[in-house]
A and B are shown apart, each in its own frame.
Chain A
Amino acid sequence: NAGVMQNPRHLVRRRGQEARLRCSPMKGHSHVYWYRQLPEEGLKFMVYLQKENIIDESGMPKERFSAEFPKEGPSILRIQQVVRGDSAAYFCASSPQTDSGNTIYFGEGSWLTVV
């Protein structure tokens, strides 16, 4: 299966702990996007990364959230000192380096619950 792989699928954290969500893009894809889906809302863009570069982080909260996409290994979305409001589904998507249609391919998501 060469799809976008996210893990863990479900994560429970206590308030104040750290959450790390991982995303392996589709084979051959060098662009990764993170989106957050809150209950009753659509997907909100968080960050767009290429290998070792953050291209657009305009949707990232200013504090506690960070993302990376190292040269080797998966992309990581890190949430420090989680609060109840961070409970959401976090979706990763990937695209190839060139795509005239901007199609991005989504993973199955990581559901974060903060208790």
Chain B
Amino acid sequence: AQSVTQLGSHVSVSEGALVLLRCNYSSSVPPYLFWYVQYPNQGLQLLLKYTTGATLVKGINGFEAEFKKSETSFHLTKPSAHMSDAAEYFCAVSEKGANSKLTFGKGITLSVRP
């Protein structure tokens, strides 16, 4: 079985500050890893994903994440927060192989202070 842990439910940063959202996963097989963003009353939008290859993955809106197998982590970062980054962020894991279901963490709400 797979699981995702996102510690804490809320992170607040100042505009221009570093964003770090943590994600740890548990999987008995090599995983695919994802970060999704959800704006209020909207669906989830894919930020980035790791499947194979380079462990540092770049996504949309300046976000990136690094897959660290030894730490079973896939933390999301952005060097400089923007007000428009305020949203809920979900980390997810799936098994490798076509069309495996995603298992999501509980999500983290990011607030950006002016």
Chain A interfacial positions (CB closer than 8 Å to B): 4, 31, 33, 35, 40-45, 48, 55-56, 91, 93, 95, 98-109, 111
Contacts and interface: CB of A to CB of B under 8 A. Distances in A.
Q: Is the interface of B mostly helix, strand, loop or mixed?
A: loop
Contacts of A108: 41-43
B102 A102 contact: yes
26 contacts: A4-B43, A42-B90, A42-B104, A42-B105, A42-B106, A43-B90, A45-B101, A55-B99, A91-B44, A95-B99, A98-B98, A99-B98, A99-B99, A100-B51, A101-B32, A101-B49, A102-B49, A102-B51, A102-B96, A102-B102, A103-B34, A103-B46, A105-B46, A106-B36, A106-B43, A111-B41
Interface of B: 4, 6, 9, 32, 34, 36, 41-46, 49, 51, 90, 94, 96-107
Contact of B99 (A44, A91, A102, A107): A102
B44 A102 contact: no
Contacts of B42: 108-109
A42 B98 contact: no
A3 B103 CA distance: 22
Contacts of A107: 43
